[in-house]
Amino acid sequence: MSEDRERDNSIGIIWTSTMKIVDGRGPSNETDVIWASTAKALGAGKFRIADPKTVKVEVMRRVRIRNQVIFAEGDAEQEIFNLATAVKRKGRREPPKIAEVCLAAFLNGAKGDALLGDLSERFEQDCERFGTGRARRLYWSRTIRSLWPLMRRGAARAIKWGIVVDSVRRFFTGG
Amino acid sequence: MELTTLEQHAMLAIIALHPNAYGISIQDHIGRNAGYEPSVGSIYAALDRLEEKGFVRSKQGEATRERGGRRKLYFSLTAPGRKALTGSINATHSLSRAAGWREALV
């Protein structure tokens, strides 16, 4: 095998979780979809099925996408890295975590879970309509609008239970 | 027992949407029919109050991928809830009749 051919063979993407080389025979799962969009953008001609051992030895850069590690090597390294980063950014369709934590602090249990689920559902709709960036801003806006009523509700509960606990304490201590 | 405007609207939405009344559908229904869109937080705060008063009950539904694997919470009215809503709407009607507000506003 010539040096060029070896080098050509080493251009590819490998997922360490499965040690499987995706050869572009059509997407069959989420991982393949990510690969397919990367490969489509690069042009399928640049990719060949590589020997897993070779690719593993020749790893130069890795990119983490949705908990999958992508190894890219060879001439296409920088290109794959850029595209993989773009795919990662495009694919990050998750509501802001900090906003979720803020909401969960004021309403827990089944209602808290349902509230976060409703906002996630709305977020998905917004992603389809406006794109991820605007959807994340809208999520924050909805969170901020929701905080005040939830805080008031939490305070009302706390005061009510405070009064109950205080009454029980007075009853037993004779205060 | 008195109901706030949002509580009244949420209860009317629950009746209209039965058996698919959950946070988002209630919010959309109020938005379409009442001309304002309350925040999801204020809807849940109102529903939490109503459940505490025994006017609504909740039942967990299915979890879907777009909800991040979280379950829906479906709401329905209880018999005391229906009675309270009827009383509240009747009170509003008789007050508005007594005030003759249409004539007063013209």
Whether the model clears a pTM of 0.80, i.e. scores above it, the answer is no
Q: In angstroms, rounded to a whole number, what is the distance separating the alpha carbons of residues A50 and B39? A: 53
- Closest to A115 (Cβ–Cβ): which among B40, B49, B64? B40
Q: In angstroms, rounded to a whole number, what is the distance separating the alpha carbons of residues B65 and B95? A: 47
Dihedral pair phi/psi, residue A18, rounded to 5°: -115, -15
Whether A103 and B63 lie within 8 Å, measured CB to CB: no
Whether B44 and A110 lie within 8 Å, measured CB to CB: no
Which amino acid is residue B2, in one-letter code?
E
CB-CB contact of B105 with B96 (8 Å)? no
Average pLDDT over residues A3-14: 36
List Cβ neighbours of A104 (8 Å cut-off, separation of 6 or more).
A112, A116
Helix axes B40-53, B79-99, angle to 10 degrees: 110
Tokens of A81: 């890295």
Using the Cβ of B4 and the Cβ atoms of chain A, whether some distance falls under 8 Å is answered with no
Average pLDDT over residues A91-116: 84
Statement: residue B48 has pLDDT above 50: yes
Q: Averaging pLDDT over each range in A2-6, A131-135, B33-37, which range is the top one?
A: B33-37
Average pLDDT over residues A100-113: 85
Nearest Cα to Cα of residue A102 among A162, A157, A145: A145
Q: In angstroms, rounded to a whole number, what is the distance separating the alpha carbons of residues A114 and B19? A: 16
- Strand locations in A54-172 (E): 61-65, 68-72
Mean pLDDT, chain A, rounded, equals: 63
Using the Cβ of B25 and the Cβ atoms of chain A, whether some distance falls under 8 Å is answered with no
Statement: residue A41 has pLDDT above 50: no
pLDDT of residue A7: 36
Average pLDDT over residues A82-99: 67
Tokens of A14: 């490998």
Whether B66 and A142 lie within 8 Å, measured CB to CB: no
Give the pLDDT band (50/70/90) at residue A12. Answer: very low
pLDDT of residue A88: 54
Higher-pLDDT residue of B10, A103: B10
Nearest Cα to Cα of residue B40 among A99, A134, A158: A99
Higher-pLDDT residue of A42, B12: B12
CB-CB contact of A69 with A63 (8 Å)? yes
Statement: residue A32 has pLDDT above 50: no
Mark out chain A residues that contact chain B at CB-CB < 8 A.
94-95, 103, 106-107, 110-111, 113-122, 124, 142, 145-150, 152-153
The alpha carbon of residue B51 is apart from the nearest alpha carbon of chain A, in Å, by: 11
Nearest Cα to Cα of residue B27 among A104, A95, A153, A146: A146
Least-confidence region, from A80-89, A106-115, B32-41, B60-69: A80-89
- CA torsion sign for A9, A12, A18, A23 is negative
CB-CB contact of B100 with B38 (8 Å)? no
pLDDT of residue B25: 96
- ipTM here: 0.88
Mean pLDDT, chain B, rounded, equals: 92
pLDDT of residue A90: 54
Condensed to tens digits (0 to 9), the pLDDT of residues B52-96 reads: 999 999 999 988 878 888 899 999 999 999 999 999 999 988 888
Statement: residue A19 has pLDDT above 70: no
- Closest to A149 (Cβ–Cβ): which among B39, B64, B66? B39
